[in-house]
Amino acid sequence: MMGRAGGGFWGRSKFAAVGAVALAVAACASGPPPTMFDLAAATPPPARGLRAQIRVGQPTATANLDSDRILVRDSDTLAILEGARWSESLPALFRTRLAQSFQNAGLARWIDGPAANADYEIDLDIRAFELDAQTKEVHVDIAAWIVSLGSGRIRADQIFTLREPLASTDPAAVAAAMDQAASTVMTGIVRFVDKTL
C-alpha cells in the first residue's frame, strides 16, 4: 500500500534513537563467514522522460538499519539474521540500485551525479527493512521526498510500504523476498518521480 507522507521533512533527525529496542548482535568469530546477499535494480516500465535533472540522495536510516546486517523483528526486539549480510550497508546499496532503476526506466540522461547541476534531489528515509518474525512477513517501509535544490522546498512526498508473506525463514528465502519487495518499492519511486516531474 502506498500513501501520502505527512509531517515535516527538515525537522526529522537523520538517525532515530534506538530507544527501548534492543539490537542483538551475533558475534561468532569462530563460525563460518556469513553469506553475502545483494539487491537487484528494478526494471520499471519505460518512463515518459523528465523535465528536470535529478539526483538520488544518500538515504537516512536508524542506526540499526544503517549497516550491512539483515534485521529480524520479534515483538519489541530487533535481532540479526545469522549467517547473512548485505553486500554493503543497506542505505548505500538501496541508493545504488534505485539510481540503476531510473536508468532501466530510460531516465539515464536525467540522472545526475552527487555533484552540482541537478534541479531536484530524491531524498529517502528507510523506516523499515526487516523480517517480521511474528507474522513471517518481509516488511519494507520507505518515505521519499522530491526536494528542489534551488529553494529547498519539498515538491512532493510519498510513503512506500510493503509486506510480503514468507514460505520459509531460511536466510536465502528472506533475502530473496526482501529483494523482490525492494524492487517493487523502487518501481513505485521511479513512477512517482516520473509522474511528478
List Cβ neighbours of 197 (8 Å cut-off, separation of 6 or more). Answer: 50, 51, 52, 54, 120, 146, 155
Asked if residue 23 is part of any domain, the answer here is yes
Containing structural domain, residue 187: 18-29+50-196
At 118-140, the pLDDT tens digits run 999 999 999 999 999 999 999 99
Could you tell me if residue 13 is inside a domain?
no
Band (pLDDT 50/70/90 cuts) for residue 23 is: very low
User: Given a cut of 90, is residue 159 above it in pLDDT?
Assistant: yes
CA nearest 86: which of 98, 72, 68? 68
Average pLDDT over residues 40-61: 95
User: What count of Cα atoms within 13 Å lies in the side-chain half-sphere of residue 24?
Assistant: 11
- The reply to whether 40 falls in a domain is no
Determine the average pLDDT of the residues in 62-70. 95
Q: What is the pLDDT of residue 113?
A: 62
What is the predicted pLDDT for the residue at 160? Answer: 98
Q: What is the mean pLDDT of residues 91-106?
A: 97
Overall number of domains in the chain = 1
Determine how many CB atoms are found less than 10 A away from the CB of residue 149.
18
Q: Which CATH number characterizes residue 122's domain?
A: 3.40.50.10610
Instruction: Name the DSSP class of 58.
Output: P
Given pLDDT bands bounded at 50, 70 and 90, which one contains residue 10?
A: very low
The pLDDT assigned to 14 comes to 35
pLDDT at position 61 is 97
The 3-state DSSP class for residue 50 equals coil
pTM for the whole thing? 0.83
- Residue 158 included in any domain: yes
